Amino acid sequence: MNKEVIPYGKHFIDDDDIEAVVDVLKNHPLTQGQFVNSFEESIANFVGAKYAVAMSSWTAGLHMACLAAGVKEDDLVATSPITFVASSNSALYCQAQPVFTDINEETINMCPNELDKTLRENKRVKVIMPIHFAGLPCDMQSIKEIADRNGSLIIEDAAHALGAKYSCGSMVGSCKYSDMTGFSFHPVKSIAAGEGGMITTNSEEIYKKLLRLRSHGINKSNDELVLSNEAYTDGVINPWYMEMQELGYNYRITDIQCALGMSQLKKLPKFIEKRIELAERYDSAFKDSNLIRPIQMNARNQSSHHLYVVKVDFQNTKTNRAQLMHELLNKGIATQVHYIPVTSHPYYLNKGYETKNYPKAFEYYNQALSIPLYYSLTLSEQDYVIETLKNLIHK
């Protein structure tokens, strides 16, 4: 297409961001330098956690978090079917098995009652992995109570939710209700670092393990050395010495990305403020439609608003979703579907998962449509999206 298209999501970069990256390129190490530590400290302080560890992507972070939680063969990891495949794949990376819990039809998040049922039917759930879908926090207090009864750890998949708050007012990432929380810095997320992820935790033991897992099983700064006869000369540590103490990975992030991430973090409050404004305008525009129903309308001030999703009653329209998305794109509006339920991907079907076990997830999926929402979306562009969508659905 030659015409300019309004995307469903888009990053925002200004001169401050560019200058931060250029400064690293000109004056600092490009990797394993001071900006990684500074970015980690900035995120930890922002969300109110003791520790933070940055990595190359949140997918890498999910793998690391499961390993740090001790997930291994024959363990189970309970999560939602409405998520990107990386969430449940992280269990498979550890030779464990994902099990899925149906969603709440209003929040599109993991339903605590369904989770309780899942854990009663599956006794080996080592980790519960709630997904804060579209930036709205799950009911973590209820999930924490269920986890404690079962002896399960909690890893919050907050890829969508940097800047979001629980109903109690604490920040997502504080780990008030969990052992670890992770964020994504993909360009369409709350802040952009190109790629990258971050895990927060309040456990020093988990923190040190994450540092080792991120860099080949080696942590030069925080671990007690095992082979002291090799490590020291005359009581002073040898300048070249390092120890691989367990199997790790190269999941490091660069200083270039972290400099961009720190610059972006300063703008996060205004990013979220604008997203809330846009979400509320959409809410108002669709409130009288009998065919277009927004989700998550009752918690706009808690969510970070990574996505704006509507449910469309396609059974009572003269169009289907594929046709509607094509028509919108022809008019310069890009849309998306978040997500195809994990259990309906061929890989998972071949492993024996059945879509019929998650009726609310599939009811949502069959109606879901993500429409444009991002900081630089203008009000006139939003009005055009609203008018066009209404005209096509109500025609």
DSSP string, 130-158: -B-GGGPPP-HHHHHHHHHHHT-EEEEE-
Residues 120, 140, single domain; the answer is yes
Residues 59 and 139 in one domain: yes
Q: What pLDDT does residue 32 have?
A: 92
Dump pLDDT digits (tens) for 291-304. Answer: 999 999 999 999 99
- The vertex-245 CA angle with 35 and 185, nearest 5°, equals 30
Q: What is the mean pLDDT of residues 341-358?
A: 96
Helix (H, G, I), strand (E, B) or coil at 21: helix
160-198: per-residue pLDDT in tens? 999 999 999 999 999 999 999 999 999 999 999 999 999
pLDDT at position 395: 81
Q: Which of residues 224, 240, 265 is at a domain's end? A: 265
Q: Residues 56, 195: one domain?
A: yes
Residues of the domain holding 73: 15-265
For the beta carbon of residue 163, count every other beta carbon within 10 angstroms. 25
Q: How many CA atoms lie within 13 A of 316 on its CB side?
A: 8
Residue 8 lies in a domain: no
Most distant CA atoms of the chain, gap in Å = 84
Rounded Cα gap, residues 250 and 317, in angstroms: 50
Domain count, the chain: 2
Cα within 13 Å of Cα(274), Cβ side? 14
- Residue 161 belongs to a domain: yes
Average pLDDT in the chain? 96
51 and 74 within one domain? yes
Q: Residue 90 CB: number of other CB atoms within 10 A?
A: 29
Query: pLDDT for 188-229, tens place per residue?
Result: 999 999 999 999 999 999 999 999 999 999 987 677 889 989
| Same domain flag for 145 and 22 | yes
Whether 93 has a pLDDT exceeding 50, the answer reads yes
Cβ proximity of 22 and 260 under 8 Å: no
Share of the chain above pLDDT 90, in %: 95
Q: Distance (Å, rounded) from C-alpha 119 to C-alpha 128?
A: 9
What is residue 224's predicted lDDT score, i.e. its pLDDT? 85
Task: Give the pLDDT of residue 341.
Answer: 98
In this structure, the answer to whether residues 284 and 190 fall within a common structural domain is: no
What does the alpha-carbon distance between residue 159 and residue 135 come to, in Å, rounded to a whole number? 8
Q: Evaluate if residue 355 carries a pLDDT over 90.
A: no
Contact 357, 171 (CB under 8 A): no
Q: For position 306, which CATH number holds?
A: 3.90.1150.10
Residues 6+ apart with CB under 8 A from 148: none
Structure confidence at residue 256 (pLDDT): 98
Beta strands 51-55 and 197-201, pairing class = antiparallel
For residue 1, the model assigns a pLDDT of 45
CATH of the domain at 95: 3.40.640.10
Say if residue 234 is in the same domain as residue 294: no
Span 3-55, pLDDT tens digits: 699 999 999 999 999 999 999 999 999 999 999 999 999 999 999 999 999 99
Of the residues 265, 297, 317, which one is the last residue of a structural domain? 265
Distance (Å, rounded) from C-alpha 253 to C-alpha 191?
Answer: 15
> How distant, in Å, are the alpha carbons of 291, 310, 313, 321, 394 from that of 318?
11, 17, 10, 10, 8
Distance CA 172, CA 156 (A): 9
State residue 98's pLDDT score: 98
